[in-house]
Every structure is written in structure tokens, then in C-alpha cells.
Amino acid sequence: MLKKILRGVLWALGTLMLLSACGYGYWQGFGLDERPKPNTAARAADLDLMKNAVAVKRGRILAVVSSTPRIGGTNKKAGYELTELSRAYYTFRANGYEVDIASPRGGVPPVDEDDMGEADFAFLNDAGAQDKVANSIPLAKVDSAAYAAVYFVGGKGAMFDFADNPDIDRIVRDVYRRGVVGAVCHGPAALLNVKLDNGKPLIAGKRMTAFSNAEELFLMENAHDLFGFLVEDRASAAGARFVAGPQVLDNTVVDGRLVTGQNPWSTWSVAEAMITALGHAPVARRATAEEVNVHLLATYYRSGLAAARAERDRMAQPDRQLVLMHAIVAGMQWRLVDAFNLQRLARRQSL
């Protein structure tokens, strides 16, 4: 998603204050060429959370991905987001849970590979994980009694085959009686129409989140026409207490045994919150550079530029690309103070 946003907004540099000082020396000040490159040959054993994996077997978790390859009648890619599967997959595995992968149609589901990090390449290089993906279980054949939790992976395809899916309704109802239900980004579309045994909507009165209207409409102004609905709108109409955080920042909401995350940057925290909801302390894990910078941005939006700069100066190797992207987005939205402050935060030295 980060690459998509950057490709879509770079043209705005010509009309924003960022361009006024965007000579070669100024651009070099962002140090984007210093950004650490992910290890494309990474293996599961290389991941620090797998090195800390618990030995005990605690049960099984079902991860559900979309089977829809395209958005409606367009050529726009849908499918599921690889990062939202791979990072949760290893979090669950490290914490003692075997993971099965299912999709509405079964077989090989369509994937959107973007913003890849070490865990994502490890997943692609993991023969066992890839076999599960290539042979995803059709939802109609899923025995929900076998799972302690179910996790709905995001991706635009979820908008077409998660909502109003009778097999998803069956699985969620059964798992929620005794276990944990989680979803991230567009994945909460799976929860919109699920009704409990008493006929009440699962999400009625629950605190939850998902890809917000603001995020959706920023990326696609005609999203409502393409999808037919927006998750935030439908969730609110069903009585959910929707919690929308800042755009493109981690926001995970826990309400009892329901765990939801707002966007791809929430994947790690959703998976770990699900482990906590299952009654276990998640294994230790070193935060990724992306997570560190998401936290830096959260500090800026919460406490201002001075606090964020102080935090940045304590960071060993800040990854400035995400911060710069937020500056560009702020400029496109005419939040010019944020645009100026965030480009200052993205530079090596403060201006």
C-alpha cells in the first residue's frame, strides 16, 4: 500500500511547499538511499520471533483470505494483502498455534504483494506456508470446531466475498462462542452481517475498527461505487462503535474476544492482541523499522513536532520514507502545517 500511495502522490510535489526546497542537496537530506533493504532470501528461522517461539502446542487458528481477483468489472487488482497474512501467520506460529489458510473458493487465492519486509519474504520462501496458500481450504469445508480463533486477512477482495458469506457467518458464530475473532484492514467486512444466536449483530455495541472512510476515499474517490459500500459506514449502521484513528497509522481495537485493526500497519498488533485475548503473553519480538516510524508519526500527531524530533534523534536508523509519505499526503489534503513539519521530521537534520 505504501508504494501505491507514493506512486499516486509524487506528482503533488510540484505544487506543494516541499518542491520549493527540493534541490538535490535538500532531497539528499532525506537519506532515502540509506533505507535498509529487506532480505529477500529470508527464512522463517531468521525471524527473531520464530527464534523465541514457544515449544508448547496450543491449538489452531484459521486465517481467511479472499478469492476475488479484481474489483468489480474493472482491471483493478483485488485479492488479499500478503503482508496482512504473513506477519500474522508467523506471530501465531511463534506463539504455539498451527495455522490453516482458507478462502471462499479454495485453491490458489489471488495475492497483492506490496511493502514487503523480512517476514513477508520469509513467508514466500517457506515451502510449508506456500503449500497451505496454494491449497487453501474452501470455506464450505471448514470445521470451525477445530479452531481457537479465526483471523480475516484484508485486501480489496474481501469487500466482495466476505460480507454476506454464509460460511463465514457460520464459522464466526461458532468460534466467537468460545474463542477469538480477529480481522484487519478490509477483513472486518466479514463481520458486518454476522448475527449471534440471539439474533443480535455481532458488532452491535462493540468497539471496532477497519479501513476507514477517510483512508478509502483518499485512495479511491469512487470507492463506494466500486465496492457498493464502505466498511466504516456499514459497521456504524449495524450499531458498532467505530474507532477511526489517524490515517495510515497502527490502530488496533480490542473489545473482549473481538480484535480489529484499521489498516496494514495494524497487522502485527492485531495478531499479538489476538494471542493476548487467547490468554497468552506474546513472545518477544524486535519492532520492525516500519513499526518504529509508525510510532514516531503517532508521537507527532499526539504530542507535536518537538516530541517527535526528540524521539527521532534517539533512533539508531530511522526509516524516513513513511514519514515523507505522510508529509506528501498532508500537503495533498492542504494540511500545510503538517506537511511542512513532517518533511522536517523526515530529514537527517532539523531545519
Whether 315 and 5 have beta carbons less than 8 Å apart is answered as no
Rg of the chain in Å (alpha carbons): 20
pLDDT, one tens digit per residue, over 289-313 is: 889 999 999 999 999 999 999 999 8
Domains of the chain, each with CATH number or no CATH: 2-35+287-346 (no CATH), 44-277 (3.40.50.880)
Tens-place pLDDT, residues 52-85: 999 999 999 999 999 999 998 888 999 999 999 9
Q: What mean pLDDT comes out for the span 117-136? A: 98
Compute the average pLDDT of residues 127-147: 98
Q: Is 228 left (phi over 0), alpha (psi -120 to 50) or beta?
A: left
Mean pLDDT value of segment 241-262: 97
Calculate the average pLDDT of the chain: 90
Question: Cell 535498509 identifies what position?
Answer: 36
Q: Binning pLDDT at 50, 70 and 90, where does residue 2 land?
A: low
- Give the mean pLDDT of 2-10: 60
User: Are the CB atoms for 308 and 299 separated by under 8 Å?
Assistant: yes
DSSP 136: B
| DSSP state at residue 46 | G
Whether the predicted pLDDT of 33 surpasses 90: no
Predicted confidence at residue 194, as pLDDT, reads: 97
pLDDT at residue 9 tops 70:
no
pLDDT confidence of residue 347: 82
Mean predicted confidence (pLDDT) in 148-161:
98
8-state DSSP, 347: S
Please state, in angstroms and rounded to a whole number, the distance separating the CA atoms of residues 63 and 103: 9
Q: pLDDT tens, 41-51? A: 999 999 999 99
pLDDT in tens, 92-122: 999 999 999 999 999 999 999 988 999 999 9
Q: Is 193 helix (H, G, I), strand (E, B) or coil?
A: coil
Structure confidence at residue 242 (pLDDT): 98
Q: Which amino acid is at 64?
A: V
Label residues 227-237 b or e (16+ Cβ within 10 Å = b).
Answer: beebbbebbbe
pTM for the predicted model, two decimal places: 0.90
The answer to whether residue 13 scores a pLDDT higher than 90 is no
Residue 20 predicted with pLDDT over 90: no
Number of H helices, E strands in the chain: 17, 11
Cα distance between the two ends of the chain? 29
Percent residues over pLDDT 90 in the chain: 79
CA atoms within 13 A on the CB side of 2: 17
What backbone phi and psi angles, to 5 degrees, belong to 284? -65, 145
Helix (H) or strand (E) holding 216: helix 213-219
Q: Which pLDDT score, from 0 to 100, does residue 19 have?
A: 47
Cβ(263)–Cβ(257) below 8 Å: no
Q: What pLDDT score was predicted for residue 322?
A: 86
* pLDDT value of residue 7: 60
Q: Give the model's confidence band at 327: pLDDT under 50 very low, under 70 low, under 90 confident, else very high.
A: very high
Residue 25's pLDDT is 40
Residue type, 153: V
